[in-house]
Every structure is written in structure tokens, then in C-alpha cells.
Amino acid sequence: MTTMTAGTTTAGAAGSQVAVALESVTKTYGPVRALNGVSRTFRRGTFTAVMGPSGSGKSTFLHCASGLDRPSGGVVRLGGVDIGRLSETKRTKLRRERIGFVFQAFNLIPSMDVEQNITLPLRLGGAEAEPAWLDEVVRRVGLADRLRHRPSELSGGQQQRAALARALITRPEVVFADEPTGALDPRTARDMLRMLREAADLTGQTIVLVTHDPVAAAWADSVVFLSRGRIVDELTAPSAAAVMDRWETL
Ligand SMILES: Nc1ncnc2c1ncn2[C@@H]1O[C@H](COP(=O)(O)OP(=O)(O)OP(=O)(O)O)[C@@H](O)[C@H]1O
């Protein structure tokens, strides 16, 4: 169990149902205002999709919400911890222990086999995988017979499954996924989305998925729409058709 000593803890955060909170977050790059006053909370065990046109601020949003980057203004809290107040070292530690990431480019280490890739985040923190949990994660992503393979010996879908297992192995509170299905065929993409859905439903992870795909977004509990660095709308229990309709008018 991680003990947080730095940052500001909101009253009652320990038992809070909120996994991530953004309060009036801005991010500027020189004259460009990539995020312009974004406020949103993400409750534990929910699955949220983030959509918006190219350049609307989705990646910036994900980077700020996950602690990969610091906002220029406003507050981001992860599990009650104000990450803007953490040193770079503490922010890195918090990310490693409490956040999982899945990217479109799977980012596996080519020289390591699947099991070594999956357990890497634990080993970086000086811990070992609990065998029963490793078995459970590997079973969930369907890679039990591929543990000794290198990434180059796997299909794209299998590589993304390994990346998801690596994200889940630390039992993170939040998984941030940036276009994780962008390089997958529709059936493999559906499997990946089902696994993200299961992570929310079975083990209470909070999922934040950045996507351009209305079908992917329809797996989420809600869809947040970004435009020009602001949240401009939200759909609950979205259908792909409803997402598409809203998307076309952004
Ligand atoms: N490191 C950076 N330096 C300067 N400008 C940046 C930087 N990162 C993002 N921006 C700008 O911030 C705005 C939002 O970019 P961001 O990448 O967050 O959008 P996005 O919605 O993820 O786009 P896409 O769908 O094309 O990936 C854009 O105008 C972009 O040019």
C-alpha cells in the first residue's frame, strides 16, 4: 500500500469515490492554449471516453490528468493528491504505482519476453508479481501461452493485450488509454475494449479512453467532448450513433 506524504490531500479523500479530479485546468504552450479551464471528476470504477477534433486538446488533457505533465494553471488530483505540488520524482513514483497507461504504439521492450514486459512496472518499483494476480491478468488478456515470446513474435492485437496486462499488473486506480485500438482491426479492437470494460466492472479501475472512434466510445459509461481546449458536451450511456451525431456538430 502506497503512503502519500506529499501534495495536498482533500478532506475525506481516502474513502472518496473520486479517482481523478481536474479543477479549472489550463495548459499553454507559448501562445497556444491547449486546455482552457477544464473541470471534470472521474469516479472510481467508471469508464469515460474523451473525444474531439484534431488539435482540440485530447492528448494534452490525458497528459495533464495522468500526471505525465503539469498543468499551467488549475489543479489535478489523483486519489486526492494534488499532483501539481509533487516533485518530479514523487510524480513519477505516483504514476508508476497508481496509474496504468496504454498507447496506440504498444511501447513494449523488444528484448524482453511477454512476462518480463508485463511485470516491468512492478520490478521498476522493486516488487515482484504476485503469482495468482499475474495468472489472473494473463488469463484475462488471453496470453497464457505466449509468456515466453518476444513482442516481435506477437500479432498487433497480442502486443496490445500485453500492453494492457502491463498496465493492469500494478492494480492501478486509473488506466489512461490513448487511441489503444487505433492500430487494431475491428474484431481485435472490440476484444481490447471489452477488456477495458472488464477492468472497470470487475476490479473497479477507472478508465479514461481517448479515441476518435464512436464505436469505441460507445463502450464507455459517458463521453466527454473537447473542442478548442474546453469540454463542450457530455453524453451518458452513449450509443455509437448518438456519439456520431454529436461529433458531426462539434
Ligand atoms: N508540446 C507542444 N508544443 C506546442 N504546442 C503544442 C504542444 N502539444 C500540443 N500543442 C498544441 O496544443 C493543441 C492541442 O494539442 P493536442 O495534441 O492535445 O490535441 P489532440 O486533440 O490530441 O489532437 P490529435 O487528435 O491530432 O492528436 C494543438 O494546437 C497543438 O498544436
CATH number of the CATH domain containing 76: 3.40.50.300
Other beta carbons within 10 angstroms of residue 9's beta carbon come to 16
Supply φ then ψ for residue 16, to 5 degrees: -65, 150
**Does 57 sit in the ligand 1 pocket, CB within 6 Å?**
yes
Q: Are 98 and 173 in contact (CB under 8 A)?
A: yes
Q: Are 168 and 202 in contact (CB under 8 A)?
A: no
Domain ranges, residue 139: 16-248
What's the total number of domains in the chain?
Answer: 1
pLDDT at 200 over 90: yes
Distance 127 CA to ligand 1 centre (A): 36
Nearest CA to ligand 1 atom 13: 34
Distance 59 CA to ligand 1 centre (A): 7
Give the C-alpha separation, 24 to 229, whole Å: 11
Give the pairing of strands 18-29 and 73-78: antiparallel
| C-alpha to C-alpha distances, 231 to 25, 34, 148, 234, nearest whole angstrom | 11, 12, 44, 8
Where helices occur in 6-69 by DSSP H, the ranges are: 58-65
The string of pLDDT tens digits covering residues 110-129 is: 999 999 999 999 998 889 99
Would 10 be classed as within a structural domain? Answer: no
Would 243 be classed as within a structural domain? Answer: yes
Model ipTM over 0.90: yes
Place of cell 520524482: 89
Would 81 be classed as within a structural domain? Answer: yes
Give the C-alpha separation, 229 to 167, whole Å: 27
**Does 50 sit in the ligand 1 pocket, CB within 6 Å?**
no
Query: What local confidence, expressed as pLDDT, does residue 11 receive?
Result: 39
The string of pLDDT tens digits covering residues 20-55 is: 999 999 999 999 999 999 999 999 999 999 999 999
pTM of the model: 0.89
Ligand 1 atom, smallest distance to 229 CA: 14
> In this predicted model, which residue has the larger pLDDT, 64 or 84?
64
Distance 7 CA to ligand 1 centre (A): 28
Distance 57 CA to ligand 1 centre (A): 6
Would 213 be classed as within a structural domain? Answer: yes
Give the pairing of strands 206-210 and 222-227: unpaired
Ligand 1 atom, smallest distance to 63 CA: 18
**Does 55 sit in the ligand 1 pocket, CB within 6 Å?**
yes
Q: Are 72 and 233 in contact (CB under 8 A)?
A: no
Chain centre distance of CA 22: 15
Ligand 1, residues 59, 208, 211: which to mutate, most atoms within 8 A of Cβ? 59
Place of cell 472521474: 42
The string of pLDDT tens digits covering residues 173-192 is: 999 999 998 888 888 889 88
Would 144 be classed as within a structural domain? Answer: yes
Give the pairing of strands 81-82 and 99-103: unpaired
State the virtual CA torsion across 2, 128, 132, 208 in degrees, nearest 10: 50
Distance 212 CA to ligand 1 centre (A): 15
| C-alpha to C-alpha distances, 233 to 23, 40, 50, 223, nearest whole angstrom | 17, 12, 10, 8
Distance 183 CA to ligand 1 centre (A): 20
Closest among 208, 220, 161, 183 to 59, alpha carbons compared:
208
Per-residue pLDDT averaged across 189-203, rounded?
A: 92
How many Å is the maximal CA-CA distance in the chain? 51
Ligand 1 atom, smallest distance to 210 CA: 22
Would 92 be classed as within a structural domain? Answer: yes
Closest among 166, 133, 132, 136 to 151, alpha carbons compared:
166
Nearest CA to ligand 1 atom 26: 54
Distance 153 CA to ligand 1 centre (A): 34
Would 29 be classed as within a structural domain? Answer: yes
Residue 8 confidence class, pLDDT cut points 50, 70, 90? very low
Per-residue pLDDT averaged across 63-73, rounded?
A: 93
Supply φ then ψ for residue 126, to 5 degrees: 80, 20
Would 1 be classed as within a structural domain? Answer: no
